[in-house]
Amino acid sequence: MSAVSERMWQLLSLYGLQVVAALAILVLGFWASRLIRNAIRRLMHKKKVDETLTSFACNLAYAALLVFVIIAAVNKLGFQTTSFIAIIGAAGLAIGLALQGSLANFAAGVLMIIFRPFKAGDYIEGGGTAGTVEEIEIFTTKLVSPDNKYIIVPNAKMLSDNIVNYSTKETRRVTLTFGISYGDDVDKARSVIQAVIDQDDRILQDPMPAVLVSALSESSVDLSVRVWTKNADFWGVHFDLMEKVKKAFDAQGLTIPFPQRDVHLYQQSP
């Protein structure tokens, strides 16, 4: 009995300090990991980094620190951690190869959050679609189309193509083309269009509106109308200007040519 007690005391004296040291490493390591995570969060908030990226970066750093602390504690107990680290590295490589598409979306999401080619609420074209940005996440961008369709675009696809942001600038140019017949007076048509423009308060005078002869087509003289308006008024001005110019042309006797075709029938005697 005394031999067993002596053996237990030897084991306790041999490994007790290692167990206590391992526990101390775990406790202090977890505490330090939380401090570092909170410090990273405060720094990113101070730099006004997007909350999505902030949360992801803090959680990733916290997880990496916990893995390091656990490995250090296991090593303190006397276990060889070289093979364990090799297994983690091999598993990480395998996961990376299996999720390379997701990693590409993640990298693209981080770049979009950092460089901000668009933000929530912007109307954009990108990734083969168009809509108002509802949310930018780490892996996907969520859009709502003008007809209220919910669209989810992978970030890698969004970033690999041209992105057109219609909401960045405060003003936009409305460009419309009206055709008149060759027998109509160009100056009269220009004055009619200008009168319609002057009646719309949404159309800006700086830059000045322009009514230009843009082409001499096969059956019409084309007048290009270019006016500037606030971004929010773009479509209202676009549709109203088209309707009002058509009605003004009708009232002033100006004709808008349309394609016509003469069909000739030939009859052959039997």
What spatial distance separates the first Cα and last Cα of the chain, rounded to whole Å?
A: 131
pLDDT by residue for the chain (270 residues), tens digit each?
555 565 555 555 556 667 777 788 888 888 988 898 888 888 888 877 766 667 767 777 888 888 888 877 777 766 665 666 666 666 665 655 554 556 788 788 878 877 888 888 899 999 889 999 988 877 888 999 999 999 999 988 998 889 999 999 999 999 999 999 999 999 999 999 999 999 999 999 999 999 999 999 888 999 999 999 999 999 999 999 999 999 999 999 998 887 767 677 787 776
pTM, two decimal places: 0.65
- CATH class, range 171-252: alpha beta
Structural domain 116-165, CATH architecture? Roll (2.30)
Q: Which has the closest alpha carbon to 251: 175, 183, 196?
A: 196
pLDDT at 4: 55
Domain boundaries defined on the chain: 7-98, 116-165, 171-252
Amino acid making up residue 76? K
Tokens of 196: 């319609």
Give the pLDDT confidence score for residue 254 in this predicted structure: 92
Q: How many CB atoms are closer than 10 A to CB 140? A: 19
Helix crossing, 82-98 with 100-115: angle to 10°?
80
**CATH class held by domain 7-98:** mainly alpha
171-252 shares the fold of 7-98: no
What ranges make up the beta strands (E) of the chain? Answer: 123-126, 129-136, 140-144, 150-154, 164-165, 171-180, 203-204, 210-216, 221-230
258 neighbors 194 (Cβ within 8 angstroms): no
